[in-house]
Structures are given as structure tokens and as C-alpha cells.
Amino acid sequence: MCTMIVDNIKATGSAKGRDGWFSITDISVSYDHPFHAPLEHALNIDFMARAESGFQRISAELTAADALELIKSIEKVLSEAESREIPLDTDILKAS
């Protein structure tokens, strides 16, 4: 792990980890040696819960080319939602 290229964002959402669903607090994106993918460097995405109750994570290790395709795919899907005037929800729904 020698590039130390990393970027972090605060995030809201859910991810399904080893012990079931958890609430995401942070997403960490790095381009560095992966733990598992057979690549020297990978675009690593960690969906994380950094909570007092403990740390949870699900991860993906992608080729750089596939990561760029993923960006396009996300933009395409959200763009279609906008064009169909489907609201892009940013607020967590509160249970009544």
C-alpha cells in the first residue's frame, strides 16, 4: 500500500455486511494495493460504519477501467431519474 491516494466522504445509507444491514457513515475511496483483487493497484471503495458500537465495512476492489464505467453508470441512472422528474431523495425518512 504505497500510493496513499485516498478520499473520504461522509455518507448516509445502508449496506449489508457480514452481520446484516448497517448504517453507512463514511465512504472511503482509494487507489492503492487491494487486499484481494489480483491487481497491483485497484480502485477500492469501502462503505463504512464508524460508530461507537463498532466498525463495519463492505468493500469493493475494482479495476480503474471498471471504476470509471461505474461512475458513468451511476450518472446515467441518476440522470434518467431526473429526466423522469423522480425526486433525488437526500433526506432519510423518519419512521412515524
Binding site residues, another protein, CB under 8 A: 1-4, 6, 8, 26, 28, 30, 32-33, 35, 38, 40-41, 44, 46, 48, 50, 55-57, 59
* Pick from 1, 53, 61: nearest CA to 28: 61
Q: What is the amino acid identity at position 8?
A: N
**Closest to another protein by CB, 40 or 91:** 40
**Closest to another protein by CB, 32 or 63:** 32
How far apart (Å, rounded) are the C-alpha atoms in residues 66 and 77? 16
**Closest to another protein by CB, 45 or 70:** 45
CB 74 to another protein: min, Å:
21
CB 49 to another protein: min, Å:
11
